[in-house]
Structures are given as structure tokens and as C-alpha cells.
Amino acid sequence: MKRYKLIVFDLDGTLAKSRSNLDEEMGVVFSALAEKYFVSVISGGDFKQFEIQFLPNIKLKEESFKNLVLCPTCGSKMYVLKNGTWEKILSEDLSDNEIEKINNALEVVSKKLSNPLDKVYGNKIQNRGTQFTYSGLGDEAPLSVKMEWDPNQEKRKEIVNELMKIIPEFSIKIGGITSVDINRKGIDKAYGLKKLIEYFKIDISDILFIGDAIFPGGNDYSAKEFGVDCVQVKDPVETMKKIKELLN
């Protein structure tokens, strides 16, 4: 197997089930990987999601945290651990004008396409500062309900198409299992990978990206377009197998 320097992961659907905590075994093998490689996680979620979902089960030696970089909101933010505190070293914040445009477009499309029979859990529209995320059933929907809502991505493809008619100047991608991510053009996971190359001072050929949405329109696909080696997984079980291969 080719020897990489940096292993980059998506979070939801890759390291953990959607909006669910990293399980204990995944935390152990991920931590073991971070002792051997530079590692990063790029997710559509905000940093708070990392604090709840990812970090509690990461058991790294103190000196190995220098190998880990967290990239929320599809790489438009970056965090590193310094003196025991997670410090934000990058934030591509949306302007007030951009926020207004995106929010208005999401309101229009949501009213047009929402099924009145769908129960909504929490907020459908989330402003994450550097990114907007639209969650079809709300950001607190149970996983069992989310899994049944749009298994073939047809609903979200329609949402993406409608948004593109209103705000074509933005990057609009399918993410997670019920969500659509909206970023400034050029801000996607490929952007995050470029920043990781700069941070770790490595080459594009040194990176392996692992994700569950490496398909046209998916929010992991920009990694493939960027030219890094990619592994498509269908769930955390497949990710676990790949990590164990890398460890061996």
C-alpha cells in the first residue's frame, strides 16, 4: 500500500453515523492512526458538532494532538489544539449580504418543496457563519427518521436545482443524509485540503481522503476533483476496515 502522510476523513456517515457520537472502538483506532500519521476531519457540521460527536472518544497522547486538525463547515474553518485549547486558525466568514441572499433563497425553496406531512425536528436552516446548511427534517431529527427521508438523494437534488436557479453564485452540495450545504464559491472540501497542504507542508500526493459522499453533487466530491487519492465508503464499518489496513 502507498505510504501517505495525511489521512483526511469526512465525519457523518464516514467516522460516525449521522449526528451520532463516534463509537468507542472507532475512537481507539482513529487515535492509533493519529499516532502514525497526520490526520484531519472535514465536515459540513460546525465545531460544536465536533465537540459533542467526535472529540469525547479521541484518546491521544498529548504530544500527538499536533498531528490532528479539525475542519468544520466543509473546510471553511480550521482548528488546532494549542495549550489545551482548540484554537480557530481559519474562518472564511460570510458577509451580511451573502447571509441575507442565502437565507432568503432557502426560505423560498423550503416553502416550495417542503412536504406539509413531514414532521420537523429543530431548525431546518442553520447559519454556521461560514456556511449555511439546510436540513430537510430539521437538525435534531432522529437517525431512524432521517434514513428513510431521502435514501436516493432525489429530494435533495431537487432542492439543489431550485437553489441554483436563485443563487447560482454559491457552491451548493448534498451533505449528510438529509442536508444540503451552501458555501461561497471555491469554499469546499478541496479548499480545506489546500489549507491542510499549507499547514502540514506536504504535497497533494501525500494525502488520502476517505468519505461517503464522493459522487457528483456530494460534498466530498470536490476532494476527488482536486486530485487527491480517495476511498469511497458506505458507512463507519467500512471506514474502520480501511483504518485497520492503514495501521497494519
190 vs 175 pLDDT, higher one: 190
pLDDT band of residue 41 (cuts 50, 70, 90) is very high
Give the pLDDT confidence score for residue 46 in this predicted structure: 93
Give the pLDDT confidence score for residue 131 in this predicted structure: 95
Give the pLDDT confidence score for residue 201 in this predicted structure: 98
**pLDDT single digits (tens) 42-54:** 998 899 999 999 9
Give the pLDDT confidence score for residue 86 in this predicted structure: 97
* Domains of the chain, each with CATH number or no CATH: 6-92+187-247 (3.40.50.1000), 96-184 (3.30.1240.20)
Q: Locate 122 and state its grid cell.
A: 429543530
Q: What is the mean pLDDT of residues 219-231?
A: 95
Identify which of 218, 248, 247 has the alpha carbon closest to the alpha carbon of residue 232. Answer: 218
Q: Is the Cβ–Cβ distance between 129 and 90 less than 8 Å? A: no
Give the pLDDT confidence score for residue 18 in this predicted structure: 83
Residue 1, pLDDT > 80, answer no
Q: What is the mean pLDDT of residues 218-240?
A: 95
**pLDDT single digits (tens) 158-184:** 999 999 999 999 999 998 889 999 999
Q: Is the Cβ–Cβ distance between 158 and 172 less than 8 Å? A: no
* Three-state secondary structure of 43-105: CCCCHHHHHHHCHHHCCCCHHHHHHEEEECHHHCEEEEEECCEEEEEEECCCCHHHHHHHHHH
Give the pLDDT confidence score for residue 175 in this predicted structure: 86
Q: Is 201 helix (H, G, I), strand (E, B) or coil?
A: coil
Please give the mean pLDDT across all residues of the chain.
94
Give the pLDDT confidence score for residue 63 in this predicted structure: 87
**pLDDT single digits (tens) 79-137:** 999 999 999 999 999 999 999 999 999 999 999 999 988 999 999 999 999 999 999 99
d(CA 29, CA 21): 15
Q: Is the Cβ–Cβ distance between 103 and 128 less than 8 Å? A: no
Q: What is the mean pLDDT of residues 185-210?
A: 96
DSSP state letters, 106-149: HHHHHHHH--TTS---S-SEEE-SS-EEEETT-TT--HHHHHHH
